[in-house]
Each structure stands twice: as structure tokens, then as C-alpha cells.
Amino acid sequence: MFSKVLIANRGEIAVRVIRACRELGISTVAVYSDLDRDALHVRLADEAYALGGQTAAESYIDADKILDVIQRSGAEAVHPGYGFFSENSDFARRITDLGVAFIGPGPDAIDVMGDKISARLAAEKVGVHGVPGSTEILTDAQKVVDFGNEFGFPVAIKAAYGGGGRGMKVVHSAEEAEAALESAQREALSYFGRDECYMERYLTKPRHVEVQLIADSQGNCVYLGTRDCSAQRRHQKLIEEAPAPGIPDEILDAMGEAAVKVAKGCDYVNAGTVEFLYQDGGFYYLEMNTRLQVEHPVTELITGVDLVELQLRVAAGEALPFTQEDVTITGHAIECRINAEDPFKFTPSPGRITSYHPPGGPGIRVDSHIYQGYFVPPHYDSLIGKVIAYGESREQAIRRMRIALSEMAVQGIQTNIPLHQDLLLDERFVKGGTSIHYLEQKLAQQKLEKG
């Protein structure tokens, strides 16, 4: 096992990794920007190094600065968390070239899965199929028209090197194709520096279901159940739950087996997530995230597995301590992402937290990096923590989450807690099985009713 690990991240995920390392007796190295000098991860780590700067570009995603700290600190491994360098193959290569372990998949696997077209081809090679679509770069709007005439409109044009809904345009008719392609290309170039796009059939009421997996360097790979992440706004997840409700067990098992095929097909090692769209009893491969997910706690609660500990052990060369037959799913867990933002306008709300009271009680877990007096900086993601509720049933998990959110108090800034409370009372959400369009439609209806 490693003796010292550097965490190339900030916020609640940096705190989460530090605590996992402590459990294993591993020393930790934190890095921080000028704005994060008083951050919790800096306080908890055994060593902390200033990167300087305020923005992410000036600090957390300056590879030269991170590599300099690795060498000065003598860290044997680097955990990238999520975001920043977590899915950057060039960074992973630079780490491994130093003889330092990257706690994640190898650079080649990141490359394959980082390009949406090559990822789709890799999945199809092992018999896992996505929504009908193209596997070539889209350059001619007429191909969109031809595809729509064959498979039906609407058609989604997507950025080949992007995500999060950036560079995606939905074409409802042949007349919209040319303008939509040009718009998607412009947006893709603006956000990702590349304008390549592809297309696929646009599902009208899909659910976003993902499979958590873990693979070791000995060729073992297991899946740890499913998560439903359909409660999204503009492709950004707000509420996640595990396991995915209302889907027959045989389909959930088939998703898990398909995810393992995809991972083994690209020689994947460490934790990863294979995402699917589910509609009308069928599921379609969407993409693979080659990192730990924000929503990993719900999987931990229903399986009893510590995913970060497993990441560390696998990266150190250990074999998985269990097989697929040993994995059991018990109960239900729900996670609410708590963001520093206006709950209904969705504008950021940086500032100093004047009072903070986290929730507690049976089945409640809080992963956060904030404290009373902490200043939420304006330059990073607005996520300030996650509240996770576990219950023997989905109904109990929802009840516990409602109680937890009513207890939680964050003063000095705005948070999206009221939005979560609203969603957890909505009959459609409580029933389960809402599509990825549900929240957008709900918010649009509320805006219409308010005039």
C-alpha cells in the first residue's frame, strides 16, 4: 500500500479521499489555491502546498504546478477526485512517467472513453449498443435529414469531445438540420476547443441509469448495482438514487453485465461508471465516465463497499477482495447535491457562511467541506456538499431525506435546499421512474403558473 498520496482536487471530494487515506494509515498531501488557503481539505491533510492563483486554470488545472508538488512532497500516488484532471489522459501519462501511480484507469482507457465516437465503437465491439446513431464525424446536414427520415425525428447532434449538454442540439424536422449542425459545431468549439459532432436518435422520455463498476489489474471486474440520475437540469444532476427504482431485476442485471463487457473491452482498471438511457423496457449505452462519480455514496450505502478505499487498493496492485456473487444490494439510498446558488434562478451564490447546521439522525450521511465562517469562492463549482439518506425502502429513504433537509441550515449564502424539498414532495418523483426531462418540464410549468 502507498505511504503518501497527493489529492489533486479540492472541496468535499478532497476531504472524502483524505478520510479514506486516514483509514488505511496513508499520509496525505493537499494542494490549494489562494482562495482555498483556509479550506477544510488543507486543514485535514498531513501536508499542504500552495499553488497560487485564484481560478482553476491558475491552480488546480496547472499540470506543471501539480507535478512540481508531487516531486517536492515525495507522493507515491495521485488521486484526481472528479472534475479537473480526473479524465485527462495527458495528465495521467505525465504522472505515470514520473513513476507515480495514478489512482484511476490507464491513459489508454481514458482516451478510448473520452472520445464519444471511439467509446461508442468500443462498446459496439463487445456487443453493447447505444441509441441508433452515427460513428463518423458529422459534416453534412443532409446526413441528419437522411438519418431522421430513416429512424425518425427528433435527432440529437452532439459534440464528440464534450458532455454536460454543451454542444448538443435537438433537430425536430429536416428544416432545422443545417442551422442546428452549425450551432452545435460553434458551441463545441467554444467549450471544448474542437468542433467535431456526431448524431443519434433523440429519445423523448428516457431515464438516466448508470452502473458502478470496479476492476483490478488481475482481470477481475464487478458491478455494484445501479443508480438513477434522471433528476437533472440542463444535463446537470441534482438528485441521484440507488438502486434505480421500478426497473425489473433482470434488466438491471443485464445492464450490469453489459457494463462489465464495456470495461473489459478497453482493459479498464479502477472505479468507473457506465451510463445508459432506459426507455420502454430497453436500455442503450450512453458513455463511460472514467473516474469516481459525485454520487458514489449512494452505491456505498446499499452495498457496504467503500469505493475510495477500493480505488486505493486496486491502484496499489491488490486484487478485488470479492466476486460478483458476493455483491448484495440492501435497502435504498438517495443523494441531494447541495449547491451554493439561487434555488430557482440557478445563479451562483458565493459568500461567507455565517451559520451552518448539518443534519443528522438515522440513515443520514453528509459529505461536505463547509463550516461556519467558510468563504464560498466564486471561481469553482457551486457544489458545497451532499446529503445522503439511507432507508430499508425507497419510501423510508425519501422520508429521512425530507427530515434531513428540514434540519439543515446554511446562512450567509443561498442554497438549492428549497428546490430539493419541492422535488421530494412532487407526486411524480415520489412515484419513481421520471425521465431526464421531468425537472425541466416541472420548472417550466411553475414559471408559467407564476406568469
Q: What angle do CA 449, 450, 451 make, to 5 degrees?
A: 90
Q: Contact 144/138 with Cβ under 8 angstroms? A: yes
The Cα 335–Cα 189 span in angstroms is 33
Helix or strand holding residue 409 (H, E): strand 409-411
221-233 and 207-215 strand pairing: antiparallel
The Cα 71–Cα 439 span in angstroms is 46
CA trace torsion 96, 101, 104, 105 (10° rounding): 50
The count of C-alpha atoms lying within 13 angstroms of the C-alpha of 433, restricted to the half-sphere facing its C-beta, is 7
Amino acid at 448: L
Helices of type H across 126-239:
141-151, 177-192
The Cα 244–Cα 207 span in angstroms is 10
Q: Count of CB atoms within 10 A of residue 361's CB? A: 10
Q: Count of CB atoms within 10 A of residue 444's CB? A: 11
Residue with cell 433537509: 405
Candidates 16, 94, 201, 291; catalytic one: 291
428 is catalytic: no
Task: Write out the catalytic residue numbers.
Answer: 291
